[in-house]
Chains A and B, each alone.
Chain A
Amino acid sequence: MNAAQPGPDGLIDGYLTMLRIREFELAAIRAHGEKLVHGTLHPYIGQEAIATGMCAHLRQDDLMLSTHRGHGHCIAKGAPLAPMMSELFGRENGLCGGKGGSMHVADFSVGMLGANGVVGANIVLAAGAAHEVKRRGEDRVVVCFFGDGAVNRGPFLEGLNWAQVFDLPVIFVCEDNQHSASTRTSTMTGGEGGGARARSIGLTTIDVDGNSLPDMLAAGKEAVSIVRSGQGPVFIHARTFRVTGHTATDLAQWRDTEEVERHAAADPLPLLRARILSEGHREDELLAEERRVRTDVQLAYDKALASALPPATRAFEDVQVTGNPQIGAF
């Protein structure tokens, strides 16, 4: 259940992490259809290489902040599948005890400081986490994922500028899937987007094919080495494409079908698999590993299904330390 490791076997480990994310998402979407997962679910399908390539270089004590589309980030940072799935099912043993759900998955024990329901809000929080890491003189790294739509929010400017002037150990990863909900982001973004804006503020920027695991592994490695050695914040612009609708139920029929199909056909997972085999890896071994991933996901699903709902009184816990409400009080 570990996240991908860098090193000579980076590709295989990375591929298996990507598969873990993909299978988790497919199971979560199925469960959403079965009304086991509630609310809104934003699939990470097609973007797996970005979280995987980035998080492969992180230590468990490094920190990460995520978005509404956060399952992949959470898995890549090393969160266990079963408590994640339980959270999506709203069960007692979920990562957040069933209080957060898909848009608020978090596992502070592996440095995953939360998915976020407010676009762009995590950018300033990431600057804050990095500010504290630096203030303490630690060598931890903070990674902040967000979408291409988030670069048009004020906190993007404020957070990047802050990170730059305080020279903070933070990597901003813009996952440019070209869409924000039912809008083509390019139609709403002036200039050349996030990368150009980051450069204008003075950040080191890296532009990368976010659908290529080798490229993402290289970009992640470079960014982490810059940031961990105290050379300030880095901005990664990772190019990808949202092959699904915005949510599990959104058909996004306004899109050009040909374009979507072309991108879906260039699915990074089978391409990477073929490459791994072409480099001489034994297929029977790979199949065994793949089976293990699928079993893990199925176990997570089964376990979530068998888990209890939180006792209703939990709704009254963890509101605040002083002045927490009495159970059942209006």
Chain B
Amino acid sequence: MTNLIAMTAAEASTLALREEFALDENVWALGEDIGRGGVFGQYAGLQDEFGPQRVVDTPISEAAILGVAVGAAMVGSRPVVEMRFSDFALCAMDEMINQAAKARYMFGGQSKVPIVVREPTGLWRSAAAQHSQSLEAWYAHMPGLIVVCPSTPADIRGLLKASIRADDPVVFMEPKGQWQRTGEVDLDDQEPYELGKAAGRREGDDVTIVSWSTQVHVALEAAERLAEQSIESDVIDLRTIFPWDKDSVSQSVRRTGRLLVVHEAVAVGGFGGEIASWISEHEFHHLKGPVARLGAPRIPVGYAPNLEDQIRVTAENIVDRVIRMINEGEEETQV
């Protein structure tokens, strides 16, 4: 049975929270201004429905918001932490990295920290250098953390539910530019999606394009254009950055022999590097040419729209890169 309904990413978020709040009273949320719905409406109506004990407005105190969640999780609850913008989570890095990520290990498995740290991420209409960053690779680097980068309303619902139920700290990074994008969500399928599982967004045999978050939509646009030139792309939405779905990517690469990884984050030290390196090591004999990656140049995000645009990896960039891969196979990536 399916019961598909079109809804926005923000609505999918409230749906997931409503479902999980109803199932488990240990689930609650805390963050600045969430009682009035949150900056993007991703908590709309929840405080009215579940009360101020379950949807908790907080002072502007990021270190305390995250630290309180860690402490509460250690004594049995499952807090959903709203950081507003991923940039502000940087004010709570000790709580995130030294505390949440390490508690289970340091204490020999006595403790768990089942928190979801929501960090809306990425470019958002000239928000400039302190409100636009994509920092998922930082978290992927930290043992103890799960990192989720959903791209659709259905994934926000299914993966948020899974993140709430996970017994690890999860960094959950919704693309800021996509909150009002609509997509179909199956109301009858209340099962959480599996963390660490990629989604195939388009099938093709000529090249594998791996991406996540907003960039998936750009990759799909590029795939459409490539198809007009009879180049068929296998587009994989990684969805979870850590753990990442090596099997799906490997299987695709074995079929296509070519891999391009694309993300909005800075290319240098970006997670694309990890994927490229892993595939080169493990699937080398299936590759027809070097693995390629595209990401932002290593510059902060500028305010003027045309400066901001310098960050973006466009569909055109992807098309060009894929055509070069197919024609030449061996050109070097400039990073």
Task: Tell me if B36 and A39 are in contact (CB < 8 A).
Answer: no
Q: Please tell me if B184 contacts chain A, counting CB pairs below 8 Å.
A: no
Chain A stretch 176-204: residues in CB contact (< 8 A) with chain B:
180-183, 187-189
User: Nearest CB to that of A152 among chain B residues?
Assistant: B59
Q: Roughly how many angstroms separate A233 CA and B126 CA in the complex, as a whole number?
A: 36
Closest A residue by C-beta to B267: A330
Q: Mark A287-313, 1 if CB is under 8 A from B, else 0.
A: 000000000000000000000011010
Chain B nearest CB, measured from A90 CB (Å):
3
Residues of B within 8 A of A329 (CB): 297, 334-335
User: Do A104 and B307 have beta carbons less than 8 Å apart?
Assistant: no
Please indicate the chain A residues that have their CB under 8 angstroms from the CB of B97 in the complex: none
Give the segment of B60-68, B206-214, B230-238 that binds chain A.
B60-68
Which residues in A have their C-beta under 8 angstroms from that of B61?
152-154
Contact A183 B128 (CB under 8 A): no
A117 touches B130 (CB 8 A): yes
Report the Cα distance A188→B311, complex, angstroms.
37
Q: Does B310 contact A (CB under 8 A)?
A: yes
- Whether A91 sits at the interface, judged by CB under 8 Å, is yes
Contact A39 B302 (CB under 8 A): no
Among B36, B267, B298, the one with the most A-chain Cβ atoms within 10 Å of its Cβ is B298
B129 at interface, CB cutoff 8 A: yes
| Docked CA distance A329–B309 (Å) | 14
What number of A residues sit within 8 Å (CB to CB) of B?
Answer: 43
Partner of A39, one of B88, B128, B294, B313: B128
Q: Does A316 contact B (CB under 8 A)?
A: yes
Q: Is B118 an interface residue (CB 8 A)?
A: no
Q: Are B60 and A149 in touch, CB under 8 angstroms?
A: yes
Complex: A91 Cα to B304 Cα, angstroms: 7
Q: Mark B121-141, 1 if CB is under 8 A from A, else 0.
A: 000011111110000000000
Contact call A152/B60, Cβ cutoff below 8 A? yes
Within 8 Å CB of B58, what residues of A? 188
Flag if A309 contacts B306 (CB, 8 Å).
yes
B33 lies within 8 A of A99 (CB)? no
Q: Which of A85-113 contact B (CB under 8 A)?
A: 90-91, 94, 96, 98-101, 103-104
Alpha-carbon distance A104/B307, docked complex (angstroms): 15
Measured between beta carbons, the chain A residues less than 8 angstroms from B59 are: 149, 152, 188-189
A183 with B304: in contact, given A152-B61, A312-B309, A329-B334 (CB under 8 Å)?
Answer: no
Size band of the B side of the interface? 35 or more
B residues 156-190 near A (Cβ < 8 Å) are none
Given contacts A325-B297, A330-B294, A330-B334, are A38 and B57 in contact (CB under 8 A)? no
Does more than half of chain A's interface fall in helix, strand or loop, or is it mixed?
loop
Q: Is the interface of B mostly helix, strand, loop or mixed?
A: loop
Asked whether A101 lies within 8 Å of B126 as measured between CB atoms, the reply is yes
Q: Which residues of A contact B309 (CB under 8 A)?
A: 312
Q: Are B91 and A330 in contact (CB under 8 A)?
A: no
Interchain nearest-CB distance for A36 vs B (Å): 11
Which of chain A's residues have a CB closer than 8 A to the CB of B333?
330
For A182, the chain B residues whose CB sits under 8 A away are 33, 36
Q: A103-B130, A187-B57 are in contact. Are A118 and B91 (CB under 8 A)?
A: yes
Q: Which B-chain residue is minimally distant from A155 (CB atoms)? A: B91
With both beta carbons as reference points, the residue of chain A lying nearest to B313 in the complex is identified as A330
Render B262-304 as a binary contact track against A, CB cut-off 8 A, 1 for contact. 0000010000000000000000000000000011111110111
Interface residues of B in 293-335 (CB under 8 A from A): 294-300, 302-307, 309-311, 313, 333-335
- Pick from B32, B64, B88 the residue with the most CB of A within 10 Å: B32
Q: Which residues of B contact A254 (CB under 8 A)?
A: 36
B234 to chain A, nearest CB (A): 22
Produce 1/0 per residue, B61-91, CB < 8 A to A: 1111000000000000000000000011001
The answer for the CA separation of A326 and B61 in the assembled complex, in Å, is 38
Q: Is A99's CB under 8 angstroms from B303's CB?
A: yes
State the CA gap A51–B334 with chains docked (Å): 48
Q: How far is the CB of B71 from chain A (nearest CB, A)?
A: 16
Per-residue contact bits, chain A 161-186, to B (CB 8 Å; 1 contact, 0 not): 00000000000000000001111000
Complex partner residue of A99 from B62, B296, B304, CB under 8 angstroms: B304
Complex Cα distance A314/B309, Å? 12
Whether A330 lies near B304 (C-beta < 8 A) is no
Q: Which residue of B60, B128, B335 contacts A330 across the interface (Cβ within 8 Å)?
A: B335
Q: Are B130 and A310 neighbours in the complex by a CB distance under 8 Å?
A: no
Shortest C-beta distance, B292 to chain A (Å), equals: 10
**How far is B334's CA from A147's CA once the two chains are assembled, in angstroms?**
45
The reply to whether B300 and A319 form a contact with Cβ atoms under 8 Å apart is: yes
Closest to B57 in A: A183
Q: How far is the CA of A312 from the CA of B312 in the complex (A)?
A: 12
Given A118-B91, A330-B267, A90:B307 Cβ within 8 A: yes
Most buried by B among A40, A117, A254: A117
Partner pick for B302 among A91, A98, A119, A153, CB 8 A cutoff: A98
B130 touching A118 by the CB < 8 A rule?
yes
Inter-subunit contact B130/A312 (CB<8 Å): no
In whole angstroms, how far apart are the Cα atoms of A330 and B130 in the complex? 21
New contact pairs (12) apart from A98-B304, A189-B59, CB-CB < 8 Å: A98-B303, A101-B304, A104-B129, A149-B60, A152-B60, A181-B32, A188-B57, A188-B59, A310-B304, A326-B334, A329-B297, A330-B297
Can you list 30 A-B pairs with a CB-CB distance of less than 8 A?
A38-B126, A39-B303, A40-B127, A40-B131, A90-B305, A90-B306, A99-B128, A99-B302, A99-B304, A101-B126, A101-B304, A103-B128, A104-B130, A117-B130, A119-B60, A150-B60, A152-B60, A154-B61, A181-B33, A182-B33, A182-B36, A188-B59, A189-B59, A309-B304, A315-B302, A315-B311, A319-B298, A326-B334, A329-B297, A330-B334
Leading 4 A-B pairs by shortest Cβ distance: A90-B304, A101-B303, A38-B126, A117-B130
Interface residues of B (CB under 8 A from A): 32-33, 36, 57-64, 87-88, 91, 125-131, 267, 294-300, 302-307, 309-311, 313, 333-335
